[in-house]
Structure 1
Amino acid sequence: MFAQAQTGGRFTIKGAVTDTTGAALPAATIMLLLPADSSLTNFGRSNKEGAFELKNLKRIPYLLKVSYVGYVPFQTEVVPADGEVTDLGKLKMKVLQKELYEVVIKTARAPLSIRGDTVEFDARAFKVPPGSTVEDLLRKLPGMQVDADGNIKAHGEEVKRVTVDGKRFFGEDPKMATKNLPAEAINKVQVFNGKSEQSKVTGVDDGKREKTVNLELKDSHKKGGFGKAVAGVGTDSRLEGKVSYNRFDDKQQFSLLGFGNNTNQSGIARNDYQDFKGSQSFNWGDDGDFGFNSGRYYGGDDITIQPSWGGGGSEGFTKNWAGGANYNYDTKKTKVSTSYFYNQTNSIMDVRSSTENFLTNDSYSTLDNNKTLGFTGNHRPSFRFEKAIDSLNTIILISNSRINRGDGSYESFQQSFRNEGILSNQSTVNNSSVYNSLAMANLFMYRHKFKKKGKNFAVSAGYNINNSEEDKRLSSINRFLQDSTLNSEINQRNETESTRGNFKGSLSYVEPLSKSIFWESFYNFNMRRDKVDRNVFDIEGNLQETNPFLTRYYANDFTYNRLGTSFRYSSKGLNLSVGLAGLEFKLKGKFVRDEAEADFTRVNRTYFSWVPNVNLNYDLKNNRYLYLNYGLEVREPSITDLQPIVDNSNPLYIVEGNPDLIPASMHNIYGGYQMFNPASFTNLYVNMFYSYNINQVVYNRTINLENLITTTKPMNITGGSNVGGYIGFGFPIKKTKSNLNLNTGINLSNNITYINNVENETRTNNFNFGARLDLTPSDVFTLYTNANWNLNYSKYSINTNQNQQIFNSNYGADMNWKTVKDIYLNARFNYMTYKNDQFGFNQKQPILNLAVYKVVLKSKKGEIRLTAYDVFKKNLGITQNVNQNYYTERRVATLSRYFMLSFTYNMRGISASVRRSNF
């Protein structure tokens, strides 16, 4: 009986890693594998004395692997000895020499290796179903998380960048790579903390780290093309298709992407377009604005070259078509990235909303049933060229464009009710519009590095344009039950032409004062000219007459200057920067009813502000980091808010501009601590933040108590703050088999606005709790679960009777199970609850998607899939919103239950024996 007790149950393996002389090798990577398939079951690292322990192991034979930089990998079989501990003694590793190279090659590859803050995974050791994407592969890796939207976390931190073979072919947002590259194309996955682009360019370490994932391709996929084609047909006339093709070699990358569907699928995420543009779309400094962030010019509604996807994502009903190509050429001296992308969306949005509006001691409600039909089409060419003239000089040219065309119609029936449920007014609205726009952003940059390390100079110059024209038809019938003299009919035409030209330039100079102290000076300049010509006509029959109250011509010149300097101390992991800049805004504007008139109303103002900035980053070693930042953000009012015009598109909700607005500023401070233990794969992430607003632009509301017409006008208000924090903690319950991540956050905010000239302070206290459990017990079964609870308290200073508490929760699970004969089952379930006792709102929404698919064809290149979407038919498109002095419930008629039969064909790289392609 005693012998059985000693040889049964669990046991511990221990030992020590040394070199051939017996000297300890600390932080060596220890891996425990199953001999049958070399699957990873446990791992760890040796301590400072080279010792290690792997505890609570099943009493079965194992394969032990040890890796250490510069040494031949060590491998030995482990058979459990009698007793609770099997001591392997000293494991001696040989120095890696050229004559031992073949020995290393013949040694079985390690599934996992850890070097400093870099963790490298052998993708072949983590099996995923055929046809899986990189996203599916990442879910299997220890310490990695991928949520339902494709956002990636590694070691508790958000992944900022994904590279392919070290090249940034997919921009800043990693999802384009992870969603479209096949898992089978990947040889290794490397996770590490990369330096920021700024520190790479200047040669001065700024202490900032960006969590990066590098995907190393298999040789077979570097020598030929690979991609995927999908076609599907479903019930209710649902159709979908998608094709992607990629081709890589050491210098070039070529990609094609196209899709079409009527299933509300955009094919790629809304913020993924820039990723499609290629490796150089978002390098540091591509905005050409040098210097620290505090006081940087954001330009209000400045041009952004982003697609207007339309359709509201998963809401409503959309038909989407898109396609494009991009090409990247990337060598040490020359980098070229160019692309063209087109997308169009036809959308139908059928919305029912109810709003409770709070006044000083009263309230009223509104109901709105509206329907929007829309079309938008976007052409987007882009180009980036970077040339290293020599080792000291570099030039960069960038040009991005957007050509947009669209039309839409809006029908609405709106009603307002007083407290007793008495109908006060109603409006029937029927509007339509046609619009075109052209935007282009061009930038030139020159960088010079001096021979003295850390000393450099940079200059940039850019010119942007953003022009648009729109023709609106406004028609409405407005009835006021309390006073029929207010009844009106609107039949108008609104023609608006807007042009913008924007020239900007920037200078930067960095001088090292010593090995650890650097001085940077910078200057930013921006000169912008806007013109808006808005003509509004009242229409009666075939006649139209100018409306003098709504017609406006508006022009303004905006000049921005920022001159600043900062000192940086960088040594032994401590990085401290302190800076100050002087910021000046000059605004000259004029407006009149008609451009031909001479009697302009003019605006001429100058604003000056000192802008401080403090930044601290401290590398505490052993993957522990501390950071702290303070800055002042300054924002100029948008041109939309500055225009002294009235927008009466909705006759019950009038919007006015305000030419008297001044720039808003915000004091921001945030800091935190993060830690990752590569031996245990435990991570901790803590952060705190605080912000305070000065001259914040808010939209004050005036409600006519007789007819309940609301007028909003932007104004500057000082006050309002936001404070909170977040804690995230993750650890493996069983290494390689299950991981648990916990998080909690708090956000306390107060916002100030005026309701009928009475100051209203809205205090919102938000508490969030979350948990995620990932189970990957075998190659044939995975289960990813999550839960999130959110509690929101809102309190109003002018009407405390309307204080409310909202509780939302979300429970999710994603299961994949391989059954017999390459048949797979997949289930995705989300259970969402929405509760607001103040308004008796209690909604439960279970969404279940089921799929069964089989891998077919030679080399498993094909897949046949049958999918049931929203099995319970509960996709209701429900949202709640609490803001200023109102609460809104919104329901959107949305695509619900349907079934889809699809076929996927995977195109794969050709044999590795073929010579490298040179295109």
Structure 2
Amino acid sequence: MKKILLLLFLCVSTWSAHAQTGGRFSLKGIISDSSGAVLPEATIMLLLPKDSSLVNFGRTNKEGAFELKNLKRISYIFKVSYVGFIPYQDDINPKDLETVDLGKIRMKVLQKELYEVVIKTARAPLSIRGDTVEFDAKAFKVPPGSTVEDLLRKLPGVQVDGDGNIRAQGEEIKRVTVDGKRFFGDDPKMATKNLPAEAINKVQVFNGKTEQSKATGVDDGKREKTLNLELKESHKKGGFGKAVAGVGTDSRMEGKVSYNRFDDKQQFALLGFGNNTNQSGIARNDYQDFKGSQSFNWGDDGDFGFNSGRYYGGDDITIQPNWGGAGSGGFTKNWAGGANYNFDTKKTKLSTSYFYNQSRSIMDVRSSTENFLTNDSYSSIENNKTLGFTGNHRPSFRFEKIIDSLNTIILISNSRINSGDNQYDSFQQSFRSEDVLSNQSTVDNVSNYNSFAMANLLLYRHKFKKKGRNFAASVGYNINNSDEDKRLNSINLFPQDSLRNSVINQMNETESTRGNFKGSLSYVEPFSKKFFWETFYNYSMRKDKVDRNVFDVEGDMPEVNQFLTRYYSNDFTYNRVGTSLRYSNKGLNIAAGLAGVQYDLQGKFAADKSSSNFTIVDRKFFTWVPNVSLNFDLKNNRYLYAEYGLNVREPSITDLQPIVDNSNPLYIVEGNPDLIPASTHSMYGGYQMFNPASFTNLYVNVNYNYNVNQIVYNRTINLDNLITTTKPMNITGGNSYGTYIGFGFPLKKTKATLNLNTGLNFSKNLTFINNVENQTKTDGYNFGARLDLTPSDIFTLYTNANWNISDTKYSINTSQNQKIFNSNYGADMNVKMPKDIYFNARFNYFSYKNDQFGFNQKQPILNLSVYKIVLKSKKGEVRLTANDVFKKNLGITQTVNQNYYTERRVSTLSRYFMLSFTYNMRGMSASVRRNNNF
């Protein structure tokens, strides 16, 4: 594969070099207005006469001049566009000239009476205005039934990877809007994977303001790369959807139905699917499609002020689904369905939904681990199998009302009701040197659980008549309750010391409750047009209770285990008061702030909640947290940014509980009520540039983090029986730093684009192994390349290559230092054949190597599909897919962490074939009266 990719790069280089030689000509000229004044940064384009497809483009310089070099000696359509002027068009026939000089081209001002004519006849496939690049969708051909994602792959300067992540002009797309509205939430993949390409009129890429900046009216200097999809007039009302049904070998089946209907004010969505092809949970893009514009919104947490010192609880509730996929391994059967309704006007936004999904999984895992001690090591092997079921209901509600131009209220309520069961069987052995067996454990655990979580928030914003003056307040209450019944059974043998042999037969009953009341205030005052002052206050009061009863079962008479039974309550109070000053003028935005943060932890624990002998925890912590940021718009699509802050994180309730978890008798987990909040000093900065004339982009980023009172999991290994006990502790001194550089440019505009990147990451993590401090240093080196070839409408090829080197060194046992070499080579090829038949091949070649442990894994994964467009209006698709043709999806991973190395093998879904039929519901041409002038 390496040789194939190398040959491919050489072919492209040769092709590019050949383009620079004989048989070519140059085109130049000067663009001016009717009076002769030059027009800088006018967009110039060359199109093919047969289909008006874009061949080359550029911009005029400060003198209004342009020159396109090394052009193929054929006829072209030459176009020029400039805001406020009638687009200019001319035919170019180079004949035998080496240089075609068009002289001074005079453009006419766009008069109102000419506007309709221009709209009708002079649309340009591409135009550039400031930092906005606009594409005419019809100038970029895609097959029938294609999605917006397929269209984006054809646009110059836009890349879409195999997972659907989008980069434009070298930056990640943060937001996708439809007709300027946040119709599809913050995840770009939802819109691009589901909207049909045929519905799109124009695609616009620009740097948008953050939601916080829009809400407060104060420019924070930050920008989010945004992509806007402008719908055709004929598609602005109606519905679209998709129905898929497939059957495959090994009894594989899949089905999915989705339907969305929308107009200017309303959106209704239905979604349902079922499969046994490891598409577990609901994919993130499907969730966003289902939720629509209200899926994620800035300010929904109700916390105001800069990020430094914000409260991040270790296990705050998460209402969104877990994003699942085949990469998790094992075998799963999944079902899901729900409905959603959105109502969106200028003053009222309502979103309500209900969703249910369930998953039944089988995980069969074999793992081997090498554990490092101070001057020694030992190994362990484990075979385990997990049978699990989970089902959850998720109702949600969000209401936003703009009372008037100055006042807005938002009410949010999200819930999750979850239940499930789990059966876990394992066989584990640990060996000292020379394969001497030290311990052996056979485990058979069964559990059932239920949980209920709800997050409620009321938010109020007020804008004063004075521009820039703002006030906001929020109040919220969250609930997170759960209960679990677990049956533990294990047989534990110690051949070197049979007196330690034990049989565990226990029942665990655990009930946890959490209530969290919080509030926040913010006030922004403009001192002048350039200076803004903000002050804020955040409050949170969290009450946790855990009642854990453990019974030893002997015969039919369970007996309370006093050592493992615990009752624990914790009241955690958080206060943060802060202020910041911001300067904003001519693209320069500087902010500096300081906040005082106080944590108050009051808790108690005992063997039983009726006990008269409680251990009391009463501690307070106070710290100052600074925040400094710089954002500088250097004009001409160049940006400089930097920020420093202190992030504080409270320990999770799981880590704080003084409870011993012996679910795995050879690996004991213990909590620590003496933990204090951890903090991290974070600094980052960077520079980014995009040249719209050449479509060259550069992105440079550096970062540094230093950990204070970091929560790490110290390990104590009993050298006689190799039982490991972990306990969370605070430790200071860990750090990480690194840099990322990305550079992209077209080898041949609209035909070939090359993107290169490199990343360097260095980290030092501290922990204690048998009370001896161990420093684990990891140096990471990453190099990548991506080549996109789009030479014609019938053939596209997207290739990528990534190389990763991880060099890990241990302070307590240098003989275990190791280097891991990982690489990945990928290619995605699409071919259009006669009679509406299409072929797709996606290939990935993974290589994993670790000489220290003799690990050398090669994994070629090839997926093939051939499909034909059928039915009237090309709404149907019949597809035959071959997944993992070589049957090499082995589910093998390797992990290096703290004082151990693990190789893990998961039995997982491999080669199968699937025949599917898709029906695209694209009937969005609702009764829209067409204007004859357009």
TM-score (norm 2): 0.96
1:120 alignment partner, one of 109, 134, 139 = 134
More deviation, 637-646/262-271: 262-271
Flag the 1:194–1:486 CA change in 2: closer, same or farther, 3 A.
same
More deviation, 675-684/338-347: 338-347
Taking the aligned partners of 2:284 and 2:234, their CA distance within structure 1 comes to 32
Residues 277 and 382 in structure 1, CA contact (< 8 A), matched pair in contact too = no
Match of 1:463 in 2: 477
Taking the aligned partners of 2:721 and 2:246, their CA distance within structure 1 comes to 53
Report sequence identity in percent. 82
Matched letter for residue 695 of structure 2: F
Flag the 1:363–1:83 CA change in 2: closer, same or farther, 3 A.
same
Matched letter for residue 905 of structure 1: Y
Matched letter for residue 365 of structure 1: S
For the pair 1:520 / 2:520, whether they are aligned, the reply is: no
Taking the aligned partners of 1:409 and 1:123, their CA distance within structure 2 comes to 53
2:603 alignment partner, one of 583, 589, 610 = 589
2:314 alignment partner, one of 275, 283, 300 = 300
Shift of 1:221: 2.4
Taking the aligned partners of 1:267 and 1:65, their CA distance within structure 2 comes to 49
Shift of 1:48: 1.2
Query: What secondary structure does 1:110 align onto?
Result: coil
Matched letter for residue 711 of structure 1: T
Taking the aligned partners of 1:270 and 1:21, their CA distance within structure 2 comes to 55
Matched letter for residue 666 of structure 1: T
Match of 1:3 in 2: none
Shift of 1:190: 1.0
Shift of 1:8: 6.9
Taking the aligned partners of 2:355 and 2:270, their CA distance within structure 1 comes to 10
Q: Deviations over 1:428-461 (max 9, x none)?
A: 1111111111111111111111111101111110
More deviation, 615-624/223-232: 223-232
Matched letter for residue 621 of structure 1: K
Matched letter for residue 830 of structure 1: N
Taking the aligned partners of 2:519 and 2:469, their CA distance within structure 1 comes to 21
Match of 1:353 in 2: 367
Taking the aligned partners of 1:870 and 1:225, their CA distance within structure 2 comes to 35
1:201 alignment partner, one of 208, 215, 226 = 215
1:665 alignment partner, one of 679, 684, 704 = 679
Matched letter for residue 712 of structure 2: V
Taking the aligned partners of 2:287 and 2:600, their CA distance within structure 1 comes to 35
For the pair 1:508 / 2:522, whether they are aligned, the reply is: yes
More deviation, 260-269/708-717: 260-269
Shift of 1:493: 0.8
Q: Counterparts in 2 of 1:714-793, with a 5 A limit? A: 714-793=728-807
Residues 174 and 187 in structure 2, CA contact (< 8 A), matched pair in contact too = yes
Match of 1:807 in 2: 821
Taking the aligned partners of 2:703 and 2:262, their CA distance within structure 1 comes to 43
Query: What secondary structure does 1:595 align onto?
Result: coil
Match of 2:192 in 1: 178
Shift of 1:283: 2.5
Taking the aligned partners of 1:346 and 1:384, their CA distance within structure 2 comes to 31
Residues 753 and 760 in structure 1, CA contact (< 8 A), matched pair in contact too = yes
Taking the aligned partners of 2:928 and 2:681, their CA distance within structure 1 comes to 60
Matched letter for residue 22 of structure 1: G
Taking the aligned partners of 1:712 and 1:7, their CA distance within structure 2 comes to 67
Flag the 1:489–1:797 CA change in 2: closer, same or farther, 3 A.
same
Residues 148 and 191 in structure 2, CA contact (< 8 A), matched pair in contact too = yes
Taking the aligned partners of 1:217 and 1:208, their CA distance within structure 2 comes to 28
Residues 400 and 409 in structure 2, CA contact (< 8 A), matched pair in contact too = yes
Taking the aligned partners of 2:892 and 2:117, their CA distance within structure 1 comes to 62
Taking the aligned partners of 1:754 and 1:267, their CA distance within structure 2 comes to 37
Shift of 1:183: 1.8
Query: What secondary structure does 1:136 align onto?
Result: helix
- How many residue pairs align between the two structures? 911
Shift of 1:306: 2.0
Match of 2:901 in 1: 887
Q: Counterparts in 2 of 1:615-764, with a 5 A limit? A: 615-764=629-778
Match of 2:346 in 1: 332
Match of 1:397 in 2: 411
Q: Deviations over 1:117-136 (max 9, x none)?
A: 11111111111222222222
Matched letter for residue 491 of structure 1: N
2:445 alignment partner, one of 412, 427, 431 = 431
Residues 194 and 289 in structure 2, CA contact (< 8 A), matched pair in contact too = no
Residues 441 and 464 in structure 1, CA contact (< 8 A), matched pair in contact too = yes
Flag the 1:664–1:7 CA change in 2: closer, same or farther, 3 A.
closer
Shift of 1:312: 6.9
Shift of 1:277: 2.1
Match of 1:365 in 2: 379
Shift of 1:257: 1.7
Taking the aligned partners of 1:692 and 1:583, their CA distance within structure 2 comes to 19
Residues 220 and 912 in structure 1, CA contact (< 8 A), matched pair in contact too = yes
Flag the 1:131–1:279 CA change in 2: closer, same or farther, 3 A.
same
Q: Deviations over 1:6-44 (max 9, x none)?
A: 997001111121111111111111111101001111111
Q: Counterparts in 2 of 1:873-884, with a 5 A limit? A: 873-884=887-898
Matched letter for residue 185 of structure 2: G
Residues 568 and 578 in structure 1, CA contact (< 8 A), matched pair in contact too = yes
Residues 221 and 248 in structure 1, CA contact (< 8 A), matched pair in contact too = no
Taking the aligned partners of 1:912 and 1:545, their CA distance within structure 2 comes to 70
Q: Counterparts in 2 of 1:227-246, with a 5 A limit? A: 227-246=241-260
More deviation, 365-374/177-186: 177-186
Taking the aligned partners of 2:734 and 2:670, their CA distance within structure 1 comes to 23
Residues 247 and 915 in structure 2, CA contact (< 8 A), matched pair in contact too = yes
Q: Counterparts in 2 of 1:771-850, with a 5 A limit? A: 771-850=785-864
Flag the 1:674–1:164 CA change in 2: closer, same or farther, 3 A.
same
Taking the aligned partners of 1:229 and 1:331, their CA distance within structure 2 comes to 30
Query: What secondary structure does 1:620 align onto?
Result: strand
For the pair 1:56 / 2:70, whether they are aligned, the reply is: yes
Residues 762 and 777 in structure 2, CA contact (< 8 A), matched pair in contact too = yes
Gaps of 5+ in 2: 1-19
Taking the aligned partners of 1:213 and 1:529, their CA distance within structure 2 comes to 43
Match of 2:455 in 1: 441
Matched letter for residue 306 of structure 1: Q
Shift of 1:250: 1.4
Matched letter for residue 50 of structure 1: G
Taking the aligned partners of 1:835 and 1:405, their CA distance within structure 2 comes to 41
Q: Deviations over 1:306-329 (max 9, x none)?
A: 214568744111111112222222
Residues 880 and 916 in structure 2, CA contact (< 8 A), matched pair in contact too = yes
Taking the aligned partners of 2:898 and 2:179, their CA distance within structure 1 comes to 49
Q: Deviations over 1:359-384 (max 9, x none)?
A: 00000001011111111111111111
Shift of 1:282: 2.6
Query: What secondary structure does 2:834 align onto?
Result: coil
More deviation, 851-860/299-308: 299-308
Shift of 1:878: 1.1
Residues 280 and 325 in structure 2, CA contact (< 8 A), matched pair in contact too = no
Flag the 1:379–1:573 CA change in 2: closer, same or farther, 3 A.
same
Taking the aligned partners of 1:346 and 1:187, their CA distance within structure 2 comes to 43
More deviation, 146-155/523-532: 146-155
Taking the aligned partners of 1:252 and 1:806, their CA distance within structure 2 comes to 52
Residues 359 and 798 in structure 1, CA contact (< 8 A), matched pair in contact too = yes
Residues 507 and 522 in structure 1, CA contact (< 8 A), matched pair in contact too = yes
Q: Deviations over 1:629-669 (max 9, x none)?
A: 00000111000000000000000000000000000111000
Residues 174 and 275 in structure 1, CA contact (< 8 A), matched pair in contact too = no
Taking the aligned partners of 1:7 and 1:505, their CA distance within structure 2 comes to 68
Query: What secondary structure does 2:207 align onto?
Result: strand
Flag the 1:7–1:135 CA change in 2: closer, same or farther, 3 A.
closer
More deviation, 452-461/77-86: 77-86
Match of 1:289 in 2: 303
Query: What secondary structure does 1:83 align onto?
Result: coil
Gaps of 5+ in 1: 1-5
Taking the aligned partners of 1:646 and 1:529, their CA distance within structure 2 comes to 22
Taking the aligned partners of 2:864 and 2:288, their CA distance within structure 1 comes to 32
Query: What secondary structure does 2:164 align onto?
Result: coil
For the pair 1:571 / 2:585, whether they are aligned, the reply is: yes
Match of 1:407 in 2: 421
Residues 281 and 384 in structure 1, CA contact (< 8 A), matched pair in contact too = no
Matched letter for residue 409 of structure 1: Q
Taking the aligned partners of 1:191 and 1:605, their CA distance within structure 2 comes to 51
Taking the aligned partners of 1:599 and 1:199, their CA distance within structure 2 comes to 53
Taking the aligned partners of 1:795 and 1:884, their CA distance within structure 2 comes to 10
For the pair 1:259 / 2:278, whether they are aligned, the reply is: no
